[in-house]
Amino acid sequence: MSKAPDNRKWLGAVVRLGGSAVLLTLVVRLALRENFAAVTSRINGREIAVLLAGFACVHLGGLCKWRLLVRSADAGLPFVYAAQCYAAGLFGNIFLPSVIGGDMISTGMAMRRSSNKMGVVMGTIANRVLDFSALILITTGGMLHPGTWGLVTHSHLFRSSVAGAACVFAGAVGSPRRRLPRFITFRWRRLLVSVRRVGRSMAAKPGVFALGFAASLVLQTSFLLMNYWVGTLCGLHVGLAAWLFAWPLAKFIAFLPISQGGFGTREFALAGLLVPFSAKPELVVAVGLVWDVILVITGLLGGVIALVLSRFSRVRFTPAVVSK
């Protein structure tokens, strides 16, 4: 009886690996058309160091936000061990399906050291829901910004992108509030029910979640501005208003579990969304590869940090005593 689920897991893994291989092959072919070596040569060591420092600051903020939400769900988690879990999640983002794979590692590790396991899960889901909400707000602002429409050169493509984004947002916002259709599997039903619980928790603690949402907005905007800077350094001169629309939506699409770590999916989505603004798809993909290299470096550093912090967390962590 257990062979069918196991077969489905293996099939899903094979599909994701195959999808990643196909997408990355196409990405590399497109990047080579744009002379990828010439694109990367425009970024020097000092600029890479600044980018890595920016990533470190943003992820430190992300760590504090995640721990705040976990603690708001009555799940105690020492800072050192929370940092270890978060850093291990960054490392896992390189190998696991979509960019949610790292959340699974962070949550699993945190559940081993917290007496309130469901609180850890709810805090992690709340963290991701707030990130989704921030991405929706940013891309909606970019969509409605007058400067965005002024940059459009292919209006029919832009209208199609806006219509697709509206459908995605309507499904994301409306599904947790409506009665779930019967064809939705139990796995997804359980996830949407968890999102509903997070929504009720947010209503009970509006101050904490308002702070968390503000942090998500700042952190996601920081990532956007860094990616925009990378694009400018590589010769991709597209207005910031266009990035406000395209980048969050491409990142939203990268959450789909069709590739490992979202690699390939994000690049193609961003290239397609910037086409209405006269951006060369080859150059956009090349910029995406540069960004992926930075993400991989960050993930590897996260693995090293998690390994180093594992020694300190064992010493400083004191298990919570549950009163009888």
Burial annotation 176-191 (CB, 10 A radius, 16+ → b, else e): beeeeeeeeeeeeeee
- Predicted TM-score (pTM) of the model is 0.75
Q: What is the domain partition of the chain in residue ranges? A: 9-314
Give the whole-number percent of the chain exceeding pLDDT 90: 18
Least confident piece of the model among 22-26, 66-70, 111-115, 319-323:
319-323
Read off the tokens for 163.
Answer: 């219509």
Please tell me the predicted confidence (pLDDT) of residue 116.
78
Asked whether 313 and 88 are in contact (CB, 8 A), the reply is no
Those residues whose C-beta lies under 8 Å from the C-beta of residue 29, and which sit 6 or more positions away, are: none
* Model pLDDT for residues 254-299, shown as the tens digit of each residue: 776 665 556 667 777 788 788 888 788 788 888 888 888 888 899 9
Model confidence pLDDT, tens digit, residues 211-242: 999 999 999 999 999 999 998 888 888 888 88
Q: For 36-78, what is each residue's pLDDT tens digit? A: 666 777 788 888 899 999 999 999 999 999 999 988 877 778 8
Under 8 Å between Cβ of 275 and 152: no
Between these two residues, 222 and 157, which has the higher pLDDT value? 222
Residues 93, 261: Cα–Cα separation, whole Å: 5
pLDDT at 27 over 50: yes
Please give the Cα distance from 306 to 209 (Å, whole number): 27
Mean pLDDT of the chain: 75
Q: Select the more confidently predicted residue: 314 or 81.
A: 81
Q: Does residue 207 or residue 159 have the better pLDDT?
A: 207
Q: What is the DSSP string of 253-301?
A: HHTSSSSBTTTTHHHHHHHHHHGGGT--HHHHHHHHHHHHHHHHHHHHH
| Coil, strand or helix at 260 | strand
pLDDT at 187 over 60: no
Query: Are 136 and 169 in contact, with CB atoms under 8 Å apart?
Result: yes
Question: What mean pLDDT is predicted for residues 184-189?
Answer: 55
